[in-house]
């Protein structure tokens, strides 16, 4: 692991690190905020998965999460959204290829050699984090925005014993029937739509739900509502009687201004679960 940078931040440290990933077969970069409490021993960890076109840096500098995490004594990890670098497949569109890994393990050409983002987020990166930093593996929570909200919810429901709580900002809620989803799932996973189902938060909510609490915030003026399909996930949560909240926020769009506006709520929500 290589230290790219470390800066003092709200009494703790905001670091950026790179490492060789076995899952993706290339160097990966992530941001990690450690609160001051990490100097004395392991602290809880909140994962933040970012959306289309983002790197590890977008949420790290725009979401305003460190201030609230520092108050709660919680670490934050900001992974990249895809493999990158020479020899890694890409596409001319913003919503496929580098910057758009969709948190799946690709099986199709040319994506399969590197686009193993599910294994990276659930396997490779956790090993790096817990082997190198003062983090409590027994106290984890997960959140994300847009494509990252999709990833956070599907990963949380697949690994309920790992995460105590899950939340999302404007998640891609029903990708198997959405323009943001069918293109990517078809490209990465192939034509068999049965293999797509485990990566659809609405389907997984109907089929298994989540053992802990869930918080969803969606901007009512989001310019991508037709692609996000929040009503499908809200209905699934109601049908499942899933413990949690689904909040439509009047006047808010899809931007990081929206994310930053409700970040304090999400960090506090996860802190309650992590310290319970």
Query: Active-site residue numbers?
Result: 146, 222, 254
- The DSSP result for 105-128, as a single string, is B--STTTTTT-BHHHIIIIIHHHH
Cα–Cα distance, 276 to 190 (Å, whole number): 42
DSSP at 211: S
Cα–Cα distance, 240 to 202 (Å, whole number): 10
Are 56 and 13 within 8 A, CB to CB?
no
CA dihedral 145, 149, 152, 155 (to 10 degrees): -150
Q: How many CB atoms lie within 10 A of CB 175?
A: 28
Which is nearest to 49 in space by CA: 107, 106, 115, 101?
101
Q: Which residues, other chains included, contact 53 with Cβ-Cβ below 8 Å and sequence gap of 6+?
A: 81, 94, 99, 100
């Amino acid at each position: 692991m290589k230290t790219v940078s470390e800066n003092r931040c709200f009494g703790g440290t905001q670091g950026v690190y790179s490492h060789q990933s076995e899952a993706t077969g290339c160097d990966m970069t992530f941001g990690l905020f450690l609160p001051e409490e990490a100097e004395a021993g392991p602290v809880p960890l909140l994962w933040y998965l970012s959306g289309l076109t983002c790197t590890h840096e977008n949420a790290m500098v725009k979401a305003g999460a460190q201030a609230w995490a520092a108050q709660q004594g919680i670490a934050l990890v900001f992974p990249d959204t895809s493999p990158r670098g020479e020899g890694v497949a890409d596409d001319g569109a913003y919503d496929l290829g580098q910057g758009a890994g969709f948190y799946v393990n690709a099986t199709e050409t040319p994506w399969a050699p590197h686009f193993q983002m599910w294994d990276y987020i659930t396997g490779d990166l956790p090993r790096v984090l817990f082997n190198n930093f003062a983090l409590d593996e027994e106290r984890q929570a997960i959140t994300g925005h847009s494509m990252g909200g999709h990833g956070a919810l599907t990963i949380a429901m697949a690994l309920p014993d790992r995460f105590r709580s899950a939340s999302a900002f404007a998640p891609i809620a029903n990708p198997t029937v959405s323009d943001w989803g069918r293109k990517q799932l078809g490209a990465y996973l192939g034509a068999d739509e049965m293999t797509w189902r485990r990566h659809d938060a609405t389907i997984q909510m109907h089929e298994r739900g989540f053992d802990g609490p869930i918080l969803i915030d969606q901007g009512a003026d989001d310019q991508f509502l037709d692609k996000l399909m929040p009503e499908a996930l809200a209905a699934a949560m109601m049908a499942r009687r899933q413990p949690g909240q689904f909040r439509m926020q009047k006047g808010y769009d899809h931007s990081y201004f929206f994310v930053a506006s409700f970040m304090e709520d999400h960090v506090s929500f996860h802190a309650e679960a992590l310290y319970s």
